[in-house]
Amino acid sequence: MIVRAKRVLTPAGLRDDGWVEVAEGLVAAWGVGEPPAPADEMFDLISPGFVDVHSHGGGGANFTDGADAARVVLDAHLAHGTTTMIASLITAPLDALVAQIEALTPLVESGDLAGIHLEGPWLAPSYKGAHDAAMMRDPSLPEIHQVVTSGPVAMVTIAPERPGAIEVIRWLASRQVVVAVGHTGADDACTRAAIAAGARGATHLFNAMPELLHRAPGPVLPLWESPDVWVELVCDGVHVAGDLVAAVMKSKPQRCVLVTDAMAAAGTQDGDYMLGGLAVEVRGGVARLAGTNTIAGSTLTLDQAVRVATRAGAPLELALQAASSHPADYLGITGVGRLEAGDVADIVALDDALQVVKVMRRGHWVR
């Protein structure tokens, strides 16, 4: 099969009049100009399938609810061009987290999920966001070992100011588990110590952390400026101002990652939902803890994030990379996020308005 488009995000960047050849579920070749045979499909724009490394739910379901619910989440985001997902689990008792990890492990083994992200419980209560502060705790190597070795945990979010956190960050990094700094009140020095210990991510930069102030830069400045840190950005026009997202992306073009931080309402409609054990109200597409103004995840999908980012001034090539190759590189997920020969044939076709037209996963059109 050969698919062709007016513009294609190739491994060499965004190119006009490009094509991709697919064979046996893999990318066989790509190029520009006339393809080696007549194209089977023609589109406005082709991108590698999107990769979401921070999402809790969608389609009315959450990853915390088990394998059947996870399939609903995956299908909801697949319809919007996301072909690879990490399942993010929210703060919970350790035995509950282990049970959730074990329930999702078969989906990782089958390739439906690319791994699991633990967003808690080793967070700061003062920046809890939509997490239950009563369940938060200091990290310790014995319990971290217990939870992380219970299944395919790819990433852990930690507040580095908590006692024992730096030692735990160092241990996790030594095991190739990505450590992200988030839900934290850490100051500049503590954040830099976490980066020196091996932290390589910023969980939804700007959100659930102190504002960047000229006399107290907090965690934002070291996370933003470190060349080794990938910064997650929730680009829905609610979590972070669009022009700030675009500025961060352009200032850090090799380490910016668009994430959804989506909850159950993503890809569906307003209503009342649960996130962990907390009630969430979704009104006008914005999710907040019931009866409060606290943002509780998002209803975002990555195609929307790309549209919002480009409208705010991010270059299209960079926005697409931040939704595909960058998140894959951030989590070390190989074979996806690019249309390189030999990679999995995951493709999202979009129109000139960046609306999803068709989605291919593993060489088959699924939407």
Q: What is the DSSP string of 75-88?
A: HHHHTTTEEEEEEE
Residue 324 has pLDDT above 90, yes or no: yes
Structure confidence by residue, pLDDT tens digits, 93-110: 999 999 999 999 999 999
Written as one string, the DSSP assignment of 27-66 is EEEEEESS-SS--SEEEEEEEEPEEEEEE-EETTEEGGG-
Residue 156 has pLDDT above 90, yes or no: yes
Residue 183 has pLDDT above 90, yes or no: yes
Structure confidence by residue, pLDDT tens digits, 32-81: 999 999 999 999 999 999 999 999 999 999 999 999 999 999 999 999 99
Residue 170 has pLDDT above 90, yes or no: yes
Confidence of residue 323 (pLDDT cuts 50, 70, 90): very high
Q: Catalytic amino acids?
A: 261
156 near 197, Cβ under 8 Å? no
Residue 109 is which amino acid?
Answer: E
Residue 188 has pLDDT above 90, yes or no: yes
Model pTM score: 0.97
Q: What is the mean pLDDT of the chain?
A: 97
231 near 257, Cβ under 8 Å? yes
Residue 277 has pLDDT above 90, yes or no: no
Residue 281 has pLDDT above 90, yes or no: yes
187 φ/ψ angles, rounded to the nearest 5 degrees: -85, 180
> What pLDDT is stored for residue 161 in this prediction?
98
Would you state the torsion angle of the CA atoms of residues 304, 307, 311, 312, taken in this order, to the nearest 10 degrees? 60
User: In this prediction, what percent of the chain has a pLDDT beyond 70?
Assistant: 100
CA angle 68, 70, 76 (to 5 degrees): 110
Interval 173-193 mean pLDDT: 98
Confidence of residue 143 (pLDDT cuts 50, 70, 90): very high
CA-based torsion, 65, 69, 71, 77: positive or negative: negative
Interval 114-124 mean pLDDT: 98
> What pLDDT is stored for residue 359 in this prediction?
98
Q: Which of 17-21, 217-221, 274-278, 341-345 has the lowest mean pLDDT?
A: 274-278
Interval 287-299 mean pLDDT: 95
> What pLDDT is stored for residue 276 in this prediction?
86
